[in-house]
Amino acid sequence: MQLNSEMNTLSPDKPYKTQCSSFMYNRVTKLCTPGSGLSPLFPPPTSTEGDLFLGDGCDSNQNFRSFSYGGETTYAAYFNSYQNFTDAETTCQSLGGHLFVAKTLARFDLFKFIVNSTGWVWIGLNDIQVEGMFVWVDDGQEVDPVVKTNIFETNQPDNWENADCAYGSIWNGRFVLDDAPCSGFMTYVCEKRSC
């Protein structure tokens, strides 16, 4: 579900695009609340509060769009072109972001939602510095062990052929992570927490 298609469904003449920069829609109460945007100073809305939709002020910015899934919100761009891990992260940084970071299972669900494909996709996680210690590219924090167990395929990461970089793909019908040599060429997701 992309922002624009959702807006078109809710409102064919797109009044939200011109009258406010964001709105909340609560699927339970079916109430829509106009807003002024998402501040990085505040946490994103929870799923019980509703789903946040952001208008053009944060869209069409180097292909970055707002994505909202399960109460998690971010600005991200899926690059359907092939780069090695380092070049992909460099590209993301040049755009003011990083490769996607998923420190919680909810954030990994958001990653899956953004990718929405069966390709091979770099995520911002690697053990380049210390073998076996997977850290996120935004701040070098080690992946939470419970999250790691849930987002990697069974028996991965295995460091096969000196694999130091994590990517997502479909394994046995599930979208999960594997480690691969960082020199491999894959698609990738860049994200910026705010526009």
Enumerate binding residues for Ca ion (CB under 5 A): 127, 156, 158-160, 163-164, 178-179
Look at the chain and count its residues. 195
What is the smallest separation between the CB atom of 134 and Ca ion, expressed in angstroms? Answer: 8
- Comparison of 49 and 158: residue with beta carbon closer to Ca ion: 158
Residue 102 CB, shortest distance to Ca ion, in Å, is 18
In contact, 192 and 95? CB cutoff 8 Å: yes
Nearer to Ca ion among residue 49 and residue 131 (C-beta): 131
Nearest Cα to Cα of residue 54 among 15, 20, 88, 96: 20
Shortest separation between residue 178's beta carbon and Ca ion, angstroms: 5
To the nearest whole angstrom, how small is the minimum distance from the Cβ of residue 141 to Ca ion?
17
The secondary structure of 62-130 as a DSSP string is TTBEEEEETTEEEEEEEEEEEE-HHHHHHHHHHTT-EE----SHHHHHHHHHHH-SSS-EEEEEE-SSS
Nearer to Ca ion, 16 or 167 (CB): 167
Position closest to Ca ion via CB: 159
Parallel, antiparallel, or unpaired for β 72-83 and 98-99? unpaired
Nearer to Ca ion, 74 or 156 (CB): 156
